[in-house]
Amino acid sequence: MEACNVAILGATGAVGREMLAQLEERNFPVKNLKLLSSAKSAGKKITFKGSEITVAEAAEDAFKGVDIVLGAAENDISKRFAPAIKASGAVYVDNSSAFRLDKDVPLVIPEINPGDIAMHKGIIANPNCSTIIALVAANPISSLSPIKAMVASTYQAVSGAGAGGITELEGQLSAFPKCETVSPSVFQYQIALNLIPQIGSFGENGYTSEEMKMQNEGRKILHLPEMKVSCTCVRVPVMRSHSISLTVITENEVSVKDACEAIAGAPGCRLYDDVSALKYPMPLLTSGQDLVYVGRIRKDLAFENAISLWCCGDQIRKGAATNAVQIAELLLK
């Protein structure tokens, strides 16, 4: 791959820093690198491949001469700078939800729909973290029979809410043995020793915005516009790596044996399934790496032609930063 000029928008946040780490870990051919953030973070120094880079304030003229921009900023910031990025001639790989459902913007998981990248018009969207983890696990089954519907329950780590989520859980865990009162600020309620069955805002149908992403984004990625998904998203007191309980309902019957073989051979997956040895995916196993671990694979007892499974994946890496860098790699190829 030929070296190119790269910028990271939102470079000082958790995902932005992980994008930087993935560029280095994957030996991405960076010619020149710009780290862009808010005025508050401008001036900070971050090390990349042994050299210090000073973070600059994001501005409309900051993208001149850049080939690929990796976006790790919030929706409003992404929308603000997208026109300037496109005008500069760079391709914008955006991790926010700002453009995911736009018909002219490919929504890409490289292990599933890499060909969609060719349709971009200057912007390529990174899917939601839970969508990525669930679909990497489910896509091998779709290769055996088209998916009609899915029932999903997500168990999402506090780091999915950013660095503040980690700090809040750490503070509450520290306060608990001292019998100190906690005052939640990042989450709606105390998260230590608790579960919160709400991520995102509630819609008129009773589902949250986070829950609807699994259906809306899944349809676009899998090219299955009629696929139905019933999803419940839960915040759990886990630091890192999301877990998902998933039932995949297919048009034709798929055996457990065939499903296991397909998952074992699928890119981005690791079959981790031996209940006799208490071997199944867990957040502690899957943090700090890029594979989606899949286990507890079994025939579903409520639906015909359905397979149930349990999967875990690092939502900061594969669920965000690594997926974006993989897209950038495909752009260069």
Catalytic residues: 129, 242
Measured in degrees and rounded to the nearest 5, phi and psi for residue 251 equal: -65, -40
Cβ pair 310, 120 in contact under 8 A: no
Q: Which amino acid is at 245?
A: S
Q: CB-based contacts of 118: which residues, under 8 Å, 6+ apart?
A: none
Measured in degrees and rounded to the nearest 5, phi and psi for residue 66 equal: -90, 140
Radius of gyration of the chain (CA): 20
Q: At what angle do helices 14-25 and 322-332 cross, to 10 degrees?
A: 50
Cβ pair 85, 10 in contact under 8 A: no
Cβ pair 99, 78 in contact under 8 A: yes
